[in-house]
Structure 1
Amino acid sequence: MGKQKKQKKYATMKRMISLKDQRIKEQDRAKTQKKKKEDPSVIKEQEVAKHPSCMFFQYNTQLGPPYYILVDTNFINFSIKAKLDVVQSMMDCLYAKCVPCITDCVMAELEKLGMKFRVALRIAKDPRFDRLPCSHKGTYADDCLVQRVTQHKCYIVATVDRDLKRRIRKIPGVPIMYISNHSSSNNSGKNHSSITLDVRSANSRRTTFSQNLELLSISVWDAVFLGLTPRP
């Protein structure tokens, strides 16, 4: 005879572990407890991020020749399309020695793209490029570049990605390098590309302005009265 099929019991509930059980950690017990209502009259304390010491007035003292430039994945691909030599074009832009730097995350992204981007991978392995090791988990290049730039203000970021540009503009004192197209002066109709450096962001101007007021011990209202406002 065959085995009888077991029928599922209707409206049965699984057994739950009690909160006093030893297998439950203290962190999980704290989550189940109700949060106390905050008193609106109590003044909240907030930690304000300090400005880095390298930001002296409107200049970043850590930036200087030779310039160390963090290169993004898209920047190498667009430089190939524009037929630009990365190192030579950077030196033509800044009129100084430039050292392109590639992190392990950017190299991993280029390797994942496959044979279609083998030329970009060959350029990234150029001996003129410095290789920067990554100690974090994952291989997402944008987060890696933003994290590295916030910790160390000695880099210029070379990228064409709009989202990455938007994130880096929020960090004061970090210039952005990108590829721009220019139309020729004669009527040939051809366009030529070049690498250009982005101007200081509004966030950089705002932080340097507030830092100048702190150094001069002037309040914001006195600065407005005297006409000392940050340039647009």
Structure 2
Amino acid sequence: MGKRKTKKFASMKRMISLKDQRINEKDRAKVQETKKKDPSEIKEKEVPKYPSCLFFQYNTQLGPPYHILVDTNFINFSIKAKLDIVQSMMDCLYAKCIPCITDCVMAEIEKLGMKYRVALRIAKDPRFERLPCTHKGTYADDCLVQRVTQHKCYILATVDRDLKRRVRKIPGVPIMYISNHRSELTSDYQCSIGHLWLSLCFIVSLSLTHIKCLIP
């Protein structure tokens, strides 16, 4: 009797040799036809369209009450600095502020566990507005960047450097951060919001004087 054939351990599948007659040489040697670029041809670029609210000196969609998107790091740093989030925002902007929290940020805080239960309790505060998420996944940074690019009515509150770097590339989005145990806004947007507030006060004062003149 002959030897019993046993299957080799971790045997690899055999590949067809490149010199095999079954392989067509024309299929192997496909040369890509490169089109010669005309130097006189005008190059076309797709430029993203900016909303009409950014064609003025300041973003016209930003106004009191301010809607502020809150990040996980901002809540944690405010706890370390012993700050009341809503009060510190109002002290920074001198107007009513509505902190908003997305489902992704809430899920991120819940995943952190019992160590961050104080942050979770703050996030569930009734003063916070809950924003539902319809996209796939629960990555908070992508969620916040996507929401800020679509809607120009939000201020982003974060301490994360990478997220700040991403949001700075988007025009018309102010960034709030914590420094020296208080909430601060990026300097360029402090000026724009100040101009907006002064212009609103000027319009109101003009309308009041006009009404007084009309009253006999």
Separation in structure 2 between the aligned mates of residue 35 and residue 75 of structure 1, nearest angstrom? 54
In our comparison, the structure showing a higher alpha carbon Rg is 2
Q: CA deviation at 1:138?
A: 1.1
Q: CA deviation at 1:10?
A: 8.2
Higher relative contact order (CA 8 A, sep 6+): 2
Q: Deviations over 1:122-147 (max 9, x none)?
A: 10000100000111111111111111
Separation in structure 2 between the aligned mates of residue 10 and residue 195 of structure 1, nearest angstrom? 63
Runs of 5+ unmatched residues, structure 2: 18-29, 193-216
Runs of 5+ unmatched residues, structure 1: 16-31, 182-192, 205-232
Q: 1:167-186, aligned counterparts within 5 Å?
A: 167-181=166-180
Going from structure 1 to structure 2, the CA distance change for 1:34 and 1:89 (only over 3 Å counts) comes to same
Pair 1:200 & 2:188 matched: yes
Report the counterpart of residue 161 of structure 1 in structure 2.
160
Q: Deviations over 1:79-125 (max 9, x none)?
A: 00000000111111111110000001100100110100010001000
> What is the TM-score of this pair, normalised by structure 2?
0.74
Q: How many residues align?
A: 176
Report the counterpart of residue 190 of structure 1 in structure 2.
none
Percent sequence identity over matched residues?
A: 75
Report the counterpart of residue 100 of structure 1 in structure 2.
99
Which sits farther off after the overlay, 6-15 or 125-134?
6-15
Going from structure 1 to structure 2, the CA distance change for 1:34 and 1:87 (only over 3 Å counts) comes to same
8 A contact 1:175–1:199 mirrored in 2: no
> What is the TM-score of this pair, normalised by structure 1?
0.69
Separation in structure 2 between the aligned mates of residue 143 and residue 71 of structure 1, nearest angstrom? 14
Pair 1:109 & 2:108 matched: yes
Q: CA deviation at 1:39?
A: 1.5
Report the counterpart of residue 6 of structure 1 in structure 2.
7
Q: 1:124-163, aligned counterparts within 5 Å?
A: 124-163=123-162
Separation in structure 2 between the aligned mates of residue 33 and residue 148 of structure 1, nearest angstrom? 45
SS at match of 1:196: strand
Q: Deviations over 1:174-201 (max 9, x none)?
A: 11100001xxxxxxxxxxx111111238
- Please identify which structure carries the higher helix content: 2
Separation in structure 2 between the aligned mates of residue 128 and residue 172 of structure 1, nearest angstrom? 28
Report the counterpart of residue 202 of structure 2 in structure 1.
none
